[in-house]
């Protein structure tokens, strides 16, 4: 069982107004004052959007952000704990908006639903991709109007669809006839978009099979939507999370334009393409810039649709918040197993059940830093602290840590702002969920 609210509010166990929040205010007072003095409007499609002009970025993408480094040097944090620099979140949003000026950005709330992040993005004019009534209510609670929400999960309870509709949401995803009928019954005349299956080649965290349907079926479903009195708005796809192959967007759009043409022959004019996410964080290997993604997508849209381009939606999550967060953890034990494998086992107080679920099959390979960096290193196996044999982070990947590393040392896990608190288990083995603080 996972609970994002518990994970991101775990700091509340420290005090009514959490020590973490107080420390964040104290440590960032000077930076905040300087930021306020330097703020200025940024030219975008929506003139009311204002972002900090001088977010403190690390020397390399996905590195340790300077403001977080200062905070970690003085704050007394529980361990493990995620720290997120919200100014970097704002910077990343602005960079994507600049790279895709004609697209509507729907932030994927599931990546990190922290109140501070949702509030900042709401103020920047972002729309939001939501997967549950919990996420919808979170956004509404931050003053986001319902027309800026999409209920993007293709697997929804009918009563949740009805509740969302009652609260003003009018855009829903689907990928099956049964889901479409639920929407028609309780959310009449809503805009609906069909999700199409993609292979997700090149993605480090593929999203194939569970979501989407074959293109031929998608065409039939869009016709059926119109018959049911719904508004067949468009097509959705996702090329896979942490997508590093820029050509995948063009491949997906090639399939999409064929679907547009097929339903047009059947009397339906689609108006929107939802291109999902895929925008990456920087982990152990370098990734293209956000500007490169924007250029690839713009070129693909022009190549496939020409001058008659549809409305475009993108749903970034990882690419907005991933690089903005760092988990501070602690070494619990360093040991060896004997035999021919001479690698040390380094056990951290954070593992698969504390938010590092994306290390499953060693898919996402986070960068680590320690107080002993620069000293002699040797190969290690990295594992979490729980009594579950699945709680091994990296055994096949070549991770090397300083030989001098001992129990009690800090280990900082970089670019962990996305899909960590939301994957944190509720007290598995009695360990508390991953604490978090935004600065």
Q: Coil, helix or strand for 50? A: strand
| Host H or E run for residue 294 | helix 290-305
pLDDT the model gives residue 227: 98
Q: Which of 82, 77, 79, 85 is nearest to 20 (CA)?
A: 77
pLDDT tens digits, 166-190? 999 999 999 999 999 999 999 999 9
pLDDT of residue 11: 41
Question: Which parts of 75-157 fold into alpha helices (H)?
Answer: 86-99, 115-123, 133-141
The pairing of beta strand 81-84 with beta strand 50-51: unpaired
pLDDT interval class at 390 (50, 70, 90): very high
Is 387 a residue of the active site? yes
- Domain ranges in the chain? 1-87+322-439, 88-321
The fraction of the chain above a pLDDT of 70, given in percent, is 85
Query: How far apart, in whole angstroms, are the C-alpha atoms of residue 296 and residue 186?
Result: 39
Residue 287 zone, left/alpha/beta (φ > 0; ψ -120 to 50; rest): beta
Q: Label residue 207 by pLDDT band (50, 70, 90).
A: low
pLDDT, mean of residues 127-140: 98
Q: Which CATH number fits domain 1-87+322-439: 3.50.50.60, 3.40.50.300, 2.40.37.10, 3.40.640.10?
A: 2.40.37.10
Mean pLDDT of 125-143: 98
What is the CATH T-level fold of the domain 88-321, as seen in this structure?
TIM Barrel (3.20.20)
What is the rounded CA–CA span in Å between residue 334 and residue 435?
A: 24
What's the first-to-final CA gap in the chain, in angstroms?
28
Residues 312-354 have pLDDT tens digits of: 999 999 999 999 999 999 999 999 999 999 999 999 999 999 9
Write out pLDDT tens, residues 28-57. 444 344 333 333 333 333 433 444 457 999
């Amino acid at each position: 069982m996972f609970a994002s609210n518990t994970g991101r509010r775990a700091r509340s166990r420290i005090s009514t107004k959490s020590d973490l929040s107080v420390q964040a205010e104290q440590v960032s007072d000077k930076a905040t004052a300087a930021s306020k003095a330097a703020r200025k409007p940024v030219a975008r499609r929506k003139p009311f959007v204002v972002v900090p002009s001088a977010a403190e970025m690390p020397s390399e993408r996905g590195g340790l952000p300077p403001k977080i480094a200062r905070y970690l040097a003085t704050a007394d944090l529980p361990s493990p704990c995620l720290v997120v620099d919200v100014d970097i979140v704002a910077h990343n949003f602005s960079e994507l908006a600049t790279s895709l000026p004609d697209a509507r950005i729907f932030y994927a709330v599931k990546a990190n639903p922290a109140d501070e992040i949702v509030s900042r993005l709401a103020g920047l004019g972002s729309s939001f991709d939501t997967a549950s009534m919990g996420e919808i209510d979170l956004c509404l609670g931050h003053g986001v109007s319902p027309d800026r929400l999409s209920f993007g999960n293709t697997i929804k309870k009918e009563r949740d669809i009805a509740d969302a509709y009652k609260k003003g949401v009018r855009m829903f995803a689907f990928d099956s006839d049964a889901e479409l009928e639920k929407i028609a019954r309780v959310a009449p005349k809503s805009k609906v978009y069909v999700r199409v299956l993609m292979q997700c080649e090149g993605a480090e965290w593929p999203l194939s099979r569970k979501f989407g349907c074959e293109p031929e079926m998608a065409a039939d479903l869009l016709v059926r939507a119109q018959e049911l009195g719904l508004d067949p708005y468009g097509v959705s796809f996702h090329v896979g999370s942490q997508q590093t192959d820029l050509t995948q967007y063009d491949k997906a759009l090639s399939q999409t334009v064929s679907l547009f043409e097929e339903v047009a022959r059947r009397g339906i004019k689609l108006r929107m393409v939802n291109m999902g996410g895929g925008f990456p964080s920087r982990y152990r290997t370098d990734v293209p810039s956000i500007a490169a993604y924007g250029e690839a997508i713009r070129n693909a849209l022009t190549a496939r649709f020409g001058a008659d381009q549809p409305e475009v939606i993108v749903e970034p999550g990882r690419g907005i918040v991933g690089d903005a967060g760092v988990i501070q953890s602690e070494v619990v034990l360093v040991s060896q197993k004997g035999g021919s494998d001479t690698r040390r086992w380094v056990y951290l107080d954070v593992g698969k059940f504390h938010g590092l679920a994306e290390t499953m099959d060693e898919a996402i390979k986070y960068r680590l830093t320690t107080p002993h960096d620069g000293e002699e290193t040797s190969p290690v196996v990295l594992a979490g602290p729980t009594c579950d044999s699945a709680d091994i982070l990296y055994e096949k990947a070549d991770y090397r840590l300083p030989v001098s590393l001992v129990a009690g040392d800090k280990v900082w896990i970089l670019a962990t702002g996305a899909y960590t608190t939301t994957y944190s288990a509720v007290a598995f083995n009695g360990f508390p969920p991953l604490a978090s603080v935004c600065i």
